[in-house]
Every structure is written in structure tokens, then in C-alpha cells.
Amino acid sequence: MATKEKKGMSLTTQIVLASVLALVFGAIVGEWTENIEFIGTIWLRLIQMSIIVLVMTSVAGAIGNIEGAGAGKMSFHTFKYIIIFTIFSSFLGLGLGILFKPGLGIDLGLAGDVAGGGELGSMSVIDTLVEFVPDNIFAAMSEGSTVQAIVFSLIFGVAAGSYSKKSGRDEILLFIKDVNGVIMEIINMVMKLAPIGVFALLAPVAGVTGFDVIIPMMKFLLALLVADIIMFLVYFPITAWRLGVSPLKMPKKFAKMSVMALTTTSGAICLPTKMEDSVTKFGVSREVSDFTGPITMSMNSSGAVACYVIAILFMAQATGTVLSATEIATGMLLAIMMVMGTIVVPGGSVVVYTFFASSLGLPPEGVAILISIDWFAGALRTVMNVTIDVLVGMLVSNDLDQFDKKVYNDEKTVEYTK
């Protein structure tokens, strides 16, 4: 009992409190809050500096230690669920974009209907696939190319495992595990500063950006919120049913992770928390968490794909552009492709919106207004991204008979570092 008292306020509670205080402080102080934003930026960079190494050591270590056909099975089940969630979410975004018509009523000074017609040749698809494979892993690491790092790590992990079996030496696998452990220690130290970092990031949003910009965009944000709610109501019960557990336990277990997602708007920043909570709260095995965590971070952005499809319809509606059924289908395909290769740090959506506009022949004015409220949109899509990432890990762990119901039901305690 004495130990529990010394722990004091939980990190989740501290982050929530910091978020509320930041919004109040920003609203009162105003533009001066820009002067403290650098503190939040430094905090983000402290986490980001370790993400690539964390991703590479987690994936390579998980693959290298898998016996026989295990790697193939884990990959199959992981990508199976990624595809299912992503396709469903893209159609959900299409339906909500048509229902809410978020772009109608937004005056961008463009009169009359404009026909779509951006050029998107087959080379765009080919180029995207080619870019998944790095030609220089060190360049990929320095540029934060997560997908390329994962591809290299998958290959390196297979080779390391094969070498270890043939030579009878496992030093390389132990080294990878040790580096991963050190990186986790670094991130754990940085996470203790989360309340300060979150405060410094949120205060300028309320103090500088304010909330006036949200008013004309309420339909767009409402559509995203409804998408999140529908995904929660559909994905939680189905996953719980597949695993034979109660979905009512999920909201509390997701609390800390969701607050992180809402305040940082970055799947990469949430990765360490997501991987640890998957093991300690949701019953996912460490082996599965280390494999699915980094991969889903880059390739299972279900919240983002719904957001991007809605954004495409928003840009068309707001600029009076008429998109054909083929162009809408192309936009959905592009959205699916983009969420499988976009860098998961704040601001990445700016590049994505611009890409959609140029590819589908949409006027750039729509991009500008989306950027103005992207922090709020990013918060909504990121919370769903990281949530579904964990659900994928749970489903994969269950398919491989590695799901621990006792941990999920709080009947057993495990540590991520063990």
C-alpha cells in the first residue's frame, strides 16, 4: 500500500490535466504562448530521434527469433487484418463524405462547377511500390522513411535468424534485443516529461490558432468524429467476440494511449506506449507486439484513410469540382496507398492533401483550408489509428494462440521488458 501511495498521480491523469490547463492557459494568454511551443517541439524530437531504431530493432528482433514458418504466418495474419480494416474504413469515409457533404457551404471564391481530371498514370502506383524498397538504408533512416526501414528490418531479421541457426551463434540477435531495450529505456525517460511536452504543444493551439477556424469546418470534423465512433462500435465488439473477452474493458485500457494520440497527433510518438500497453494491458504477446506494432504504425492507418477519403470529397465540394465515379474510386485507392507509406509524424497530411489535389485535378484552395484545421483532424484520425493497431495485434496474437486472456482480464500482471 505504501508503494502505491508513493506513485502518486498516474501519467495518464497528468497528461489529461496538462491538456486541460494548456487550453485554458492558451485561451487566456493568447499569442504569447508561441514562445513556449519550442519546449513541446524538443519533447517530440526526443521521442522521434529513437523511433527508427525502435522500429528496426523490434521488427528485426521479432522476425529473427521466430522459428520455422512462424514469420510467414505472422506476416499473413497481420496484413490480412490491415487490409480488412483499411478497406472498410475507406468505404466508411466515402459514405460519411456523401452523407455530411462537408465541403458545401465553404466559400473559397470559386464560382461554378469545375471538372476533375488530374493525370495519374500507372507509374504512380509503380513508383510507390518501388519506393517501399530502400536503395540506401542509412539514407532511409536519416529521412525517417519508416516503411523502407521496416522492409530492410524484415530482410535483416530473416537473415539474422538464418545465420544464427546455421552458425549456432546468437550474439547478433542478443545485440538487437539489447539495443531495443536501451531505446525503450530512453523513451521511458522522455515519457516522464509528457505532461510538460503536451502542455507546450497545446497551449499555442488555443492561444494562436484559436477556435474560430473550426466553426466553418464543423461538418468535416463531425464526419471524422462519427467515423471514429462507428469504428469503435463496430471494431471493439467484433474483436472482443473473436477473442472471447468483454469489450467493456477496452475504453479504460485505451485511456492513456488515446490521450497521447489526441494531444500529439502522431502515431510514431504513440508507438512505444502502444507496444507496451498491448503486452501489459491487452494480453498481446511480446513477440507479436514487437512485430505488429511498427508495421501497423506505418500501414494500418484506418482513421487516416477515412479522413483522407472525406478530405477528397471535401475539396471537391468546397471548390465546386465534379468528380466521376472512376475518379472517386481512384481517390479511394490513392488514400489506401498513402496510408501504407506516409510518415506518421505531425504535418505529414499536408503532403498527402496536396498529392490528392494534384492527382485528381482539384483546385489547391481546398488544401489550404484543410491545413488550417489539420491539428484537430489529426487528433481524431490518430486516436483511431493507434486503437486499431492494438486490435490488429490482439487478433494476430489470438490467431497464433499467443493471446493471454488473463492479462486482458486483469487476472495476471506482466512486464513489457521481460
CA 127/CA 50 separation, integer angstroms: 28
pLDDT: which is higher, 355 or 392? 392
Q: Is the pLDDT of residue 67 over 60?
A: no
Whole-number pLDDT of residue 348? 55
Inter-residue contact 409 to 252 (CB < 8 Å): no
**Cβ-based burial of 269 (10 A; exposed 0-12, middle 13-18, buried ≥19):** buried
Closest residue by Cα to residue 277 from 379, 415, 131: 415
Q: How confident is the model at residue 70 (pLDDT cuts 50, 70, 90)?
A: low
Please state the rounded mean pLDDT for residues 225-247.
94
**Checking phi first, is residue 133 left (phi over 0); if not, alpha (psi -120 to 50) or beta?**
beta
Q: Is the pLDDT of residue 106 over 50?
A: yes
Please state the rounded mean pLDDT for residues 83-100.
93
256-274 per-position pLDDT tens digit: 888 888 887 778 788 888 9
Q: Which of 314-318, 350-354, 369-373, 406-410 has the highest mean pLDDT?
A: 406-410
166-195 per-position pLDDT tens digit: 888 888 888 988 998 898 888 788 888 888
User: Counting runs of H as helices and runs of E as strands, what totals does the chain give?
Assistant: 20, 2
9-26 per-position pLDDT tens digit: 767 678 778 878 887 888
Inter-residue contact 318 to 366 (CB < 8 Å): yes
> Residue 236 carries which side chain, given as an amino acid letter?
F
CA 49/CA 183 separation, integer angstroms: 10
Whole-number pLDDT of residue 111? 45
Q: Is the pLDDT of residue 207 over 90?
A: no
pLDDT: which is higher, 131 or 162? 162
pLDDT: which is higher, 299 or 225? 225
pLDDT: which is higher, 361 or 35? 35
Alpha-helix runs per DSSP H in 132-170: 137-142, 146-167
> Residue 213 carries which side chain, given as an amino acid letter?
V
**Cβ-based burial of 374 (10 A; exposed 0-12, middle 13-18, buried ≥19):** buried
Q: Which of 53-62, 93-102, 211-220, 253-262 has the highest mean pLDDT?
A: 93-102
The radius of gyration computed from the CA coordinates of the chain, to the nearest angstrom, equals 22
**Cβ-based burial of 97 (10 A; exposed 0-12, middle 13-18, buried ≥19):** buried
Name the DSSP letter for residue 134: -
Q: What percent of the chain has pLDDT over 70?
A: 82
Spatial neighbors of 306 by CB under 8 A, at least 6 apart, are: 89, 90, 92, 93, 96, 224, 227, 231, 381, 384
Whole-number pLDDT of residue 113? 45
Give the global pTM.
Answer: 0.70
**Checking phi first, is residue 283 left (phi over 0); if not, alpha (psi -120 to 50) or beta?**
left
Domain boundaries, the chain: 2-408
Please state the rounded mean pLDDT for residues 27-34.
85
pLDDT: which is higher, 81 or 370? 81
Q: Which residue has the cell 509528457?
A: 194
Whole-number pLDDT of residue 370? 78
Average pLDDT, the chain: 81
Q: How confident is the model at residue 406 (pLDDT cuts 50, 70, 90)?
A: very high
318-369 per-position pLDDT tens digit: 878 888 888 888 888 878 877 765 444 444 566 677 777 777 878 766 776 7
Whole-number pLDDT of residue 347? 47
**Checking phi first, is residue 112 left (phi over 0); if not, alpha (psi -120 to 50) or beta?**
left
Whole-number pLDDT of residue 89? 94
- State which CATH number among 1.10.220.150, 3.40.50.740, 3.10.105.10, 1.10.3860.10 fits the domain covering 2-408: 1.10.3860.10
